[in-house]
Structure 1
């Protein structure tokens, strides 16, 4: 097939004159937007021109709210669309948003130099679809939803209040900005298989036809045909049509994919085609990420693929195959990487699901936009505009309370951090050395435990929190720049269960503690968890090959805090066994946590100032499953990852002089600690009980990430 020409990805401007451009009113045979030979097009006075599809996905969630609550306000939509318009030409929605969105879009486009076009989705409830098995069982429900979608974008309906859906009076017609309809979800392969085996839907239609396709493809064609018929008959409009597809159900064969369901069945967009009566046409759409499924890390042709930069790039290799497999223009409707502290999948060429700073996220997004363009796709739509706190990730979801996730920011979970827009605490420390945000902290005075030692002296400790984690500030008389970590290390303890334990690192002390933190400088600082309270061991310990008896009884002591990135698999084409893999997520990163600082590092755990060491401990690493409702992982090993309420956390801190291995050198005192806060009783480290009030509505402020700035710099107008 002929290669696509995606001219607008890296330099062509946006769509001029979506509103008030003086064009003749569209007709069915001359739609405002249509599918061209290789691209999507818009009608102008001089004929059709290419639409540069460079977009971002916009969900319906915000902090404190699930997407189904449809809680985004008009003011937020106004602000967000203005910011999106600085780099994008397209905004994609997954479902019908509240009326405020369409009003905001119309208002934005009325004054914007480069108006935004809309790719409108219709959501299909995944749980209902999986429960039904055969997709045809949902045909009536889905057809009603697509008609409501058409009515909403034409500003001609009132939708009642229903759990999980937007409601209200839709009185703003944005069809002049409507690039197309993108129907559906990432189709579960088991549903596709069951529909293909048990159903026989009619694939022929007036506007969209799949008479020769498989049953699931015919079912898709029927839904799209109904949408097209409703738009044509009621509003006299046609718009390009597509359905969501993803790597799991692409029509390619992947012999190196280790998991059967990830290459079990394909859906071919070429089987679902426009008839001669549908001038707007159909196009292919895929969600495609670089790190999953595992075929992207295992297929030799992808691993060895050399991109336009002369670099190996498995993602570009896959896109090359995908674009070449269809005769339709193809839009990569989702792609991206998250700026999360945690990681859920590795990528062979470094585009992991997590472990990226916001700057790195932006750099990768720009390169992925370029990869999409050079593969010959018709466009790309990044995921996503805003961070989404309600999301979960497979390797950590059991450690948090499902119904409470929107109320706090889980910095460890990759799925929550794909956004270009962050939601930061209004109050609380930034890890920048200033006392801002520490004013209401609980304070602990420090005292010596034995003879004075050389090196910095711990003078006090402050403890506070935000919706991101527990924050601790260790104050010193002074700290040299750079700190001589061979002269002083610090220890912080956090207790939830009330159990007293011997502390690690040769300190010769005990405390009520379930988590200990050693601060020994960059590359030598880590959080450890008591073995019998290790959530990773409880969930994945057998797969990881841990000595579970010594974890269960606690004799393993304090152990690294870990999270899995791969459960292990066998590559079918070679028989190679890829073992279980986990990362030590308790390793702490030093940097500056102030977004306004030139050296800002969004993954900062620890900041060193002239007279203090500040750290933020993510809630999840403390086994706190919901800080907003104050629930933690249960104490008893046999309770697994069940949760129970708690009132407070026990906190203490101390310093010691380390030997070359990081263990405390012997001191002439009851412990090997130098100074401690709040104090010691013999060899027992006293703790302070830190508590906070539960919350329902997190107080936050919006911040455009460095990744947003990278996209504006790459694609924005001068």
Structure 2
């Protein structure tokens, strides 16, 4: 029997060796097939796209293992059946402590171990942001061969920096990004040789993992400023590619559509394979508007997070694109502030009886993305000691124990699933030390050394499911992990340090919290600087003190800072400290406040108070307990041992690896530091009335310094969030049933405004050229709206020599911003004036190429008459009312008021048309004397209120022309096979001036082709409907491409 088993064992070994040899031979064959084709001639295309007809044929024969359809992804199973899947997984960053993310220091074995742990967490997907080394992809293939029934799929990112000048259409930038797209597609098919380049992964990529790649994610969190600049420079709204169409979009959306189309075409044409593609989006560019979000002051140094949108509903796949696209968002429950401050998110109650702003925001986002798979490609909470943003419901950016991180992350994951999102990809797998956070990054200097130490005050470094820590000591006051411990019956004080903390262990035999208070004073650098007066000392202290820790009892302990050395900054209140220690003896120590939430004001004037974070408040507990993982100190009364730790930044250490402490020179632009020799430390025991009982040491100070380092030691540990996500991921097995009802019949609805608007505002300005150039035109471009401008007599004009407030340059500027012109008639019209006005109208027509057809009449003008001196007048209005010749129920005059909540209510309650006439823009609110005068700030608030309430903001002429068409047109349709012919029929006596009319088409059809409209191309009926724009009197053809 033994011989039998021996033979079986030998055969198994031989079989394993044979399989391994075959795999090596296969790899060598693949390696020989890899061809590096590098197009060095920048004038030549990166590849030669096939003609549309040919690519259509290839597309229909392409293979694909994943598809994005309706609300979820589907995966092709081994039995050739499609199965819906809810993606659950984690984002992977590879920057281990001491390394930049571009150093790619992990081995094949490390990746393989990570994948094993992630798989055991019941995850089914991972996401990476950029190209990683070949070892990563080889490890993924090996893992999926070993764990066939629990494979890990991949969302592969295509990273890019921002274009230098902020225009995404820059030719060089586009080419570089497309080169990166090609590289990504080649390597996932195992056919890439990537040359070495600083900051980029390189090597021979011969492992084909394409069967595991669920999707490609283009780009990054796009900065709103760059999106706005691109939209200003490039006036594009439509794109019709072979695979992706964009309709009624903006220039950035068109650019993204072009890049998506490029990626799909390259993979389809080169590998006859497709997969879902998307781009990265985040809340500052979401498609909804939020009145609680507003930049109300120039000093605020942050993006306008409610200015521009990237809307996935503007994207449509063609029938060539079998795999389909999806929506991808990074969503966190604390940023931007609107996710907390909007009442519709923070006030309602969930089905489980709890408030949850994250849940209700996701409901809103999913409602907007209905019919498109919505992947939450980043979400999570950090287990940092520091907190950089507070929320009303406790989903803060930091300040969570590891247990809180675990419990709250479970809630967020369940929210994503319950709101019918397509997947939840947690941020992130490991703690990454190189990352910066807005609240504390100015005090991490030199910045390039951030990766060498672990800042627990920095939330961005502590999102990981896996802790990457260098912590030497557990705060528990037992001293077992103090190899350098001094012991004895008398007072003993010990110090230690690591890349995360500075530690103290003190044995204080006679100390009793019932009788005593304890103070620990720190001179962190330069004994002459700092506070020399302590309230419990009669004489000045020799060493200037930067920090003073006070312990009154286990529930009241705090590390205070000398008032001159605080880093509390509030630019709104013009509070900017010197950021360096100062020789003083005023005896003042203050709490270590940081401004986590600046005070805000909504568009309607609602106030949101500032929230300060006190990083000096010390938490009592045992740090090995997940519920008190951020504990700062512990006192064992039986042993009379105190153990405590301070994060380095609590002591204004800007880089402990080189002993750098904050010591700014206000004359330089950078935040400066000095190198300290070490800390001088003193203990003071007082009675409860702060009368000195004992000074430790009795004379002088303790001095402690620590070793510098360039390669920090660390170890990895699974945090409790690993196990909470493991449990939650196991529960999320089946995709929820779709309870949404689809359209039961086909219908067309003519809309009163050109889109999903509930009303309209026409803007009219009669202001100075300075106001037009400096305020009005930038506002029109910023908000992508239109307005009319009054052309009238200048003050120096007279009857013999009429002068007007328009010139060629100004007319061109107004025209390029989308504005038009209204000529104002004075009450007394001389023949000379009328002739001069006619001449000026003709000149403006020539300058802009547009016919001026609007006049502003004096209030005493007989409105039932038409101004016969002028031909082709479409609109005639007064400053106090509005009129046009074919409709008696036109505008209501919008009356300006500073009660923005009242305006908000009015716009919702009394939907319709309003004319807003502005004849002066002033700087000081006290100068607003009537309803036609506004400040620049008021103008911005009003525009945002109009926009946020879904009002079309346009010119009087365009509004009235549109309304005239809308009221006179009727829709008639006829069907023939898979074709529908749509006509907006106009009466014979209708005016000859038209604008395209918005028509909402509802149907069960999934994909249609539209021709003869103002926006032709392929449309997807994402939620059972599509918005078409039809010219009155012109037939539109709809072809049902996919029923």
SS of structure 2 residue aligned to 1:262: coil
Q: 1:469 to 1:568 in 2, by over 3 A?
A: same
Partner of 2:66: 33
Moved more, 65-74 or 181-190: 65-74
Q: 1:657 to 1:644 in 2, by over 3 A?
A: closer
- Which of 276, 293, 298 pairs up with 1:240? 276
| Alpha-carbon distance, 1:557 to partner | 1.9
String of CA shifts for 1:29-56, please: whole Å, max 9, x gaps: 5511001222000012152101221111
Partner of 1:179: 214
CA distance in 2, matches of 1:645, 1:436: 35
Moved more, 525-534 or 26-35: 26-35
CA distance in 2, matches of 1:490, 1:28: 78
Counterpart mapping for 1:113-152 below 5 A: 113-125=149-161, 128-129=162-163, 131-137=165-171, 138-152=173-187
Partner of 1:642: 671
In structure 1, stretches of 5+ residues that fail to align are 1-25, 446-456, 666-671, 681-685
SS of structure 1 residue aligned to 2:193: strand
2:701 matches 1:687:
yes
2:204 matches 1:169:
yes
8 Å CA contact 1:362–1:707 kept in 2: the answer is yes
8 Å CA contact 1:359–1:710 kept in 2: the answer is no
2:503 matches 1:471:
yes
Partner of 1:460: 492
String of CA shifts for 1:460-508, please: whole Å, max 9, x gaps: 10011010121111113387xxxx5222332222212323534545354
- Which of 617, 634, 641 pairs up with 1:612? 641
Partner of 2:903: none
| Alpha-carbon distance, 1:633 to partner | 0.7
Partner of 2:340: 297
Q: 1:473 to 1:27 in 2, by over 3 A?
A: farther
- Which of 431, 444, 464 pairs up with 1:419? 464
SS of structure 2 residue aligned to 1:353: coil
Partner of 1:453: none
SS of structure 2 residue aligned to 1:344: coil
CA distance in 1, matches of 2:413, 2:570: 36
SS of structure 1 residue aligned to 2:417: helix
Partner of 1:71: 105
SS of structure 1 residue aligned to 2:177: helix
- Which of 369, 379, 403 pairs up with 1:359? 403
CA distance in 1, matches of 2:224, 2:708: 41
String of CA shifts for 1:397-438, please: whole Å, max 9, x gaps: 100121010000000011111111111226x22223343442
Q: 1:590 to 1:213 in 2, by over 3 A?
A: same
- Which of 593, 597, 610 pairs up with 1:566? 597
Moved more, 502-511 or 519-528: 502-511
2:217 matches 1:158:
no
8 Å CA contact 1:625–1:632 kept in 2: the answer is yes
Counterpart mapping for 1:321-332 below 5 A: 321-326=364-369, 327-332=371-376
Q: 1:74 to 1:463 in 2, by over 3 A?
A: same
String of CA shifts for 1:601-629, please: whole Å, max 9, x gaps: 21111022334111111111111101112
Q: 1:412 to 1:548 in 2, by over 3 A?
A: closer
Q: 1:637 to 1:615 in 2, by over 3 A?
A: farther
Q: 1:547 to 1:35 in 2, by over 3 A?
A: closer
| Alpha-carbon distance, 1:542 to partner | 7.1
Give aligned pairs, total.
Answer: 654
Partner of 2:139: 104
CA distance in 1, matches of 2:272, 2:340: 47
CA distance in 2, matches of 1:528, 1:544: 22
Q: 1:80 to 1:474 in 2, by over 3 A?
A: same
8 Å CA contact 2:131–2:158 kept in 1: the answer is yes
String of CA shifts for 1:138-182, please: whole Å, max 9, x gaps: 211111111111112112112122222111111211111111111
| Alpha-carbon distance, 1:211 to partner | 4.9
CA distance in 1, matches of 2:621, 2:345: 35
CA distance in 2, matches of 1:702, 1:412: 19
| Alpha-carbon distance, 1:57 to partner | 0.6
Partner of 1:429: 473
String of CA shifts for 1:676-708, please: whole Å, max 9, x gaps: 13x32xxxxx22332223211100110111111
- Which of 701, 705, 724 pairs up with 1:710? 724
String of CA shifts for 1:237-267, please: whole Å, max 9, x gaps: 1111111111100111112212371010111
SS of structure 1 residue aligned to 2:449: helix
Moved more, 201-210 or 497-506: 497-506
2:421 matches 1:374:
no
- Which of 370, 374, 384 pairs up with 1:340? 384
CA distance in 2, matches of 1:74, 1:547: 49
CA distance in 1, matches of 2:495, 2:582: 31
| Alpha-carbon distance, 1:648 to partner | 2.4
8 Å CA contact 2:73–2:85 kept in 1: the answer is yes
| Alpha-carbon distance, 1:545 to partner | 5.8
Counterpart mapping for 1:388-427 below 5 A: 388-401=432-445, 402-425=447-470
- Under a length normalisation based on structure 1, what TM-score does the superposition of the two structures give? 0.86
Counterpart mapping for 1:468-507 below 5 A: 468-477=500-509, 484-499=512-527, 501-502=531-532, 504=534, 506-507=536-537
| Alpha-carbon distance, 1:541 to partner | 7.5
8 Å CA contact 2:390–2:611 kept in 1: the answer is no
Q: 1:590 to 1:440 in 2, by over 3 A?
A: same
CA distance in 2, matches of 1:28, 1:591: 64
8 Å CA contact 1:634–1:641 kept in 2: the answer is no
| Alpha-carbon distance, 1:570 to partner | 1.3
2:584 matches 1:534:
no
In structure 2, stretches of 5+ residues that fail to align are 1-58, 296-302, 734-1043
2:548 matches 1:516:
yes
SS of structure 1 residue aligned to 2:362: helix
| Alpha-carbon distance, 1:390 to partner | 0.8
Structure with the greater relative contact order (CA < 8 A, sep ≥ 6): 1 or 2? 1
Partner of 2:861: none
Moved more, 155-164 or 696-705: 155-164
CA distance in 2, matches of 1:56, 1:135: 32
CA distance in 1, matches of 2:394, 2:144: 38
8 Å CA contact 2:67–2:322 kept in 1: the answer is yes
8 Å CA contact 1:28–1:279 kept in 2: the answer is no
Q: 1:676 to 1:289 in 2, by over 3 A?
A: same
SS of structure 1 residue aligned to 2:687: coil
2:78 matches 1:47:
no
- CA RMSD of superposed structures (Å): 2.7
CA distance in 2, matches of 1:547, 1:74: 49
8 Å CA contact 1:491–1:654 kept in 2: the answer is yes
CA distance in 2, matches of 1:294, 1:244: 20
String of CA shifts for 1:323-361, please: whole Å, max 9, x gaps: 000131101111111111111111111000001011110
CA distance in 1, matches of 2:713, 2:579: 43
CA distance in 1, matches of 2:372, 2:208: 29
Partner of 1:56: 90
SS of structure 1 residue aligned to 2:554: coil
SS of structure 2 residue aligned to 1:67: coil
| Alpha-carbon distance, 1:121 to partner | 0.6
